[in-house]
Structure 1
């Protein structure tokens, strides 16, 4: 049996589900785009090619193998985008919560049934239908759980609003001993302003550091709370352009090893200055779909 254990974003990773870019289907029509950045690339004719994305994901897998991480992959569903495994489920402590995602993505959950079969059934939780939640909005951080949300009345009209108030309440009930900290995110049809998930504008790192983008947060006090929590001197503040390129969506294998995109020069230099080992890989094609390294992983066990 797989003993799930995820208490934070940085402890030594032992096993993970890494998405797959194989058979991800034709270029979507503009109507099928899930987010403004994908739409931008569909319209510009620069939507990523499957072959390029497969190469990028294999580079990520190689880093995991280098560090002795057990890597699970979804079963390949023909013509289905299965890159972003973080969207479909997430682990907090010893519980795996199946995300209530956009209805036409349900088959992606079926593609990881071989992983779910290794988990004690009591620890697999399917929230009620009214709970909308995706893993990109949920960050366990020791005795806190950070949750990106959007609670305005126009929630149903935003395809980019993925985690609702009911989700915050549900997770609070599931983990009564944790401090739940919700953050209202900025939703926009403009890809340079849209924070699709919390991990698109915030990421805690080892050594007490964090990556933040102020404009991703709708409420300045909530952004300020994070600045106070980590300490201004420990924060790498990214620009709107850097958020657009997904600078905050890196992935920690351990407190001092971070996987990052090779073009993130300013960030990668800062990380090295702060004593991190930075594993650089190409991921710029996948980034065109408004998701990056954290989005394509579902950590199962961290020490």
Structure 2
């Protein structure tokens, strides 16, 4: 495993997932917007559906499924790493000085749970009766939870050239990216294998980019969505790094409308095989601008790239990069069903191999259309998983695929 991927559909060998935990139970109708969630799911049912998903991946591919919690606990046995993460997590509440007190009173596994599901004043007071929480009320968060953590696609991205460690747009999700980066930089299974391409060493407050906006088009091309969560400056910096490394020859910047249902590029289209793409037609038609970055020269260790604004549709770009392209619309193009199923991420299926995908069972019209194209569709229950408005691709971070 070299922590690089050269396709979106090569047979899956290893994947990172996060089984939803207590962080979901922290959601209420009153804080869900602040915590960047769309609804208040039922945790036990959510976990059951997620277990079906992860077990299906194992049984259908034989792939290794890494669970974030297990990797995190292993890394947190290093007290210096644990202390830093806890201090960073306390910054929002302004009570960083409590970090040492927390480490003294909670086990490593408990601290891992705190870093993902948060910690309230009254909970710490049970172990620390003399707690001075300043002006915070008893049920206020000292450390906020991360209910979006089961969407593992966003905190990082693998490319043919190396790893993009995300700089998350929304402050409430930045800690997710910090956890992932800490794991991969320190876990013995990964730390010698990573080749970070973003952010650059020592870069402070890098422009935002999220993994759901990164799609590998071919051996030589990567597309990145310029979306409400990914900035143009980040795309430019990632393009320089990718092109300088030499494997990737073209980086496309795809300008998406700032709409909730086009949050990331992988809600617009996903690649299922060397010549098959699943798209949401309304989103494809809404893309009005695409740019292409290519390498100009490398002189005195300085990388110079050129940017060309393309006077052609995204579909034309895909046809040029993907030979003999076949395009399938969600719900086979039926506008009513397509709109309904796109709300539950109909275009966001997870490819586990060439023309083999995992999809939500509720997207019946899209699944039928896929099967009619010769795609093997494995379905998972989705009554609770879909409440977060993310699909099977959103919940998975492939770490290794068979090369194609």
With structure 2 as the length reference, what TM-score do the two structures score? 0.64
Q: CA deviation at 1:130?
A: 3.6
What is the aligned partner in structure 2 of residue 266 from structure 1? 365
Deviations 1:255-299 (A, max 9, x none): 131111112211212222222221111124222222111111111
What is the aligned partner in structure 2 of residue 15 from structure 1? 14
Residues 357 and 376 in structure 2, CA contact (< 8 A), matched pair in contact too = yes
1:221-236 to structure 2, matched below 5 A, reads: 221-226=312-317, 228-229=319-320, 234-236=326-328
Distance in 1 of aligned mates of 2:274 and 2:196: 32
Residues 186 and 215 in structure 1, CA contact (< 8 A), matched pair in contact too = no
Residues 214 and 223 in structure 1, CA contact (< 8 A), matched pair in contact too = no
What is the aligned partner in structure 1 of residue 329 from structure 2? 237
Residues 201 and 243 in structure 1, CA contact (< 8 A), matched pair in contact too = no
1:50-199 to structure 2, matched below 5 A, reads: 50-66=43-59, 67-75=61-69, 76=113, 77-78=116-117, 79-81=145-147, 82-101=149-168, 102-112=170-180, 113-116=182-185, 117=187, 118-120=190-192, 123-127=195-199, 128=203, 129-142=205-218, 143-150=220-227, 161-176=228-243, 177-188=248-259, 191=260, 194-199=261-266
Q: Specify every segment of 5 or more residues in structure 2 that has no aligned partner in the other structure, as ranges.
A: 70-112, 118-144, 290-311, 331-337
Q: Specify every segment of 5 or more residues in structure 1 that has no aligned partner in the other structure, as ranges.
A: 42-46, 151-160
Distance in 2 of aligned mates of 1:119 and 1:12: 24
Give the number of the structure with larger relative contact order, counting CA–CA contacts within 8 Å between residues 6 or more apart: 1
Distance in 1 of aligned mates of 2:256 and 2:68: 30
Distance in 1 of aligned mates of 2:345 and 2:318: 20
Distance in 1 of aligned mates of 2:48 and 2:317: 36
Give the match's secondary structure for 2:51.
helix
Q: CA deviation at 1:226?
A: 4.9
Distance verdict in 2 for CA 1:23–1:179, change over 3 Å: same
Distance in 1 of aligned mates of 2:264 and 2:313: 15
Instruction: Give the RMSD, CA atoms, in angstroms.
Output: 2.4
Distance verdict in 2 for CA 1:181–1:114, change over 3 Å: closer
Q: CA deviation at 1:214?
A: 3.1
Distance verdict in 2 for CA 1:214–1:167, change over 3 Å: farther
Distance in 1 of aligned mates of 2:213 and 2:240: 17
What is the aligned partner in structure 1 of residue 296 from structure 2? none
Distance verdict in 2 for CA 1:231–1:175, change over 3 Å: closer
Distance in 1 of aligned mates of 2:215 and 2:265: 8
Distance verdict in 2 for CA 1:53–1:178, change over 3 Å: farther
Worse-matched range after superposition: 5-14 or 264-273: 264-273
Q: CA deviation at 1:232?
A: 9.6
Distance verdict in 2 for CA 1:283–1:31, change over 3 Å: closer
Residues 204 and 211 in structure 1, CA contact (< 8 A), matched pair in contact too = yes
Distance verdict in 2 for CA 1:226–1:49, change over 3 Å: farther
Query: How many residues get paired?
Result: 279
Q: CA deviation at 1:168?
A: 1.6
Q: CA deviation at 1:94?
A: 5.0
Distance in 2 of aligned mates of 1:184 and 1:300: 27
Deviations 1:191-216 (A, max 9, x none): 5xx30101112111115111112332
Deviations 1:16-71 (A, max 9, x none): 10122111242252541536xx1xx4xxxxx3111121111111111121121111
Q: CA deviation at 1:131?
A: 2.1
